[in-house]
Structure 1
Amino acid sequence: MQLTEHRPGDHHIIRQAAADLIVVDDQRFTRSLIVGARLLESDWPVSSYDDLDASMIEPLLRHRPEVVLLAMGETQCFPPIELQREFLRAGVGLECMTVPAAARTFNVLMSENRRALAGFILKPR
């Protein structure tokens, strides 16, 4: 087993997560966003799975992560099968989760130096 020392600042950390709020490092977000180790796109214009199409998932696929955590609300749900196939075609794993579960999983993946992104679809306030 390889052990890696992580120091603050190596990657983003999600400090708080709810269906309508994410705190990344020390920044609060109430609109949907995409987070990676050193990536933070806070202008992802998605408010539900109904908004997802090929153009909306392109920012998740363009960085060629190993896995994408797609999170919405506090009840697990899945995007249309056509969009799930896009991840498969791109060779990118897709995990659909609740916002709190995806936040916890994201932090674990970052601590393992994994190439992962999380797309958080937040409920408008």
Structure 2
Amino acid sequence: MKLQPDQFDVQSITAYGEGWVAINGEKHAGSLIISSQGQRLSWPVSRFEDLTEAHFEQLADIDCELIVFGSGRRNRFPPAAWLKALMARRIGLETMDTPAACRTYNILAQEGRKVAAALLIEGGEPAQP
């Protein structure tokens, strides 16, 4: 019996490494936001220390039920005050290092969940607004 891998009609993170991530085989060197609904946005930040409340307000405009935040090389949490806009829209946020966020996003997206990933790519080229 020949087995075929499952095919999904959502954006998938197909690879990642130091300073980059590949979405459906297309390599990106800057931080970005992707969603299982097809959105792909640049996220103009390259260091955790440069994040502000405005970066998380941008996430509140995404049509999803959960955002997986990849906080870079290690797990770091944003201040709770920065999450007001997400809480107001009843959007959950899970924080983990970026490699774990890539894997978690793929699992949830392939399950058909309305999920987004906000991926901080440290060491890559800064994304342009």
Q: TM-score range, shorter-chain basis?
A: 0.7 to 0.9
Q: TM-score, normalised by structure 2?
A: 0.81
> Which string of whole-angstrom CA distances, capped at 9 and with x for unpartnered residues, describes residues 22-65 of structure 1?
01111101100001121111x21012233323332233110231
* Structure 2 residue runs without a partner (length 5+): 1-5, 125-129
2:14 is the counterpart of 1:15:
yes
For residue 23 of structure 1, give the secondary structure of its aligned residue in structure 2: strand
User: Partner letter of residue 73 of structure 1?
Assistant: G
Match of 1:40 in 2: 40
Distance in 2 of aligned mates of 1:49 and 1:110: 25
Aligned residues: 118
For residue 123 of structure 2, give the secondary structure of its aligned residue in structure 1: coil
Q: Indicate conservation of the 8 Å contact 1:19/1:72, yes or no.
A: no
For residue 106 of structure 2, give the secondary structure of its aligned residue in structure 1: helix
Question: What is the aligned-residue RMSD (CA, Å)?
Answer: 1.7
Distance in 2 of aligned mates of 1:124 and 1:59: 22
Task: Kindly state the Cα deviation for residue 19 of structure 1 after the two structures are TM-superposed.
Answer: 4.4
Match of 1:3 in 2: none
Q: Give the percent of matched residue pairs that are identical in Structure 1 and Structure 2.
A: 27
Distance in 1 of aligned mates of 2:104 and 2:55: 22
Q: Indicate conservation of the 8 Å contact 2:16/2:22, yes or no.
A: yes
Task: Kindly state the Cα deviation for residue 20 of structure 1 after the two structures are TM-superposed.
Answer: 1.3
> Which string of whole-angstrom CA distances, capped at 9 and with x for unpartnered residues, describes residues 50-100 of structure 1?
332333223311023101111122311101121133322221100001111
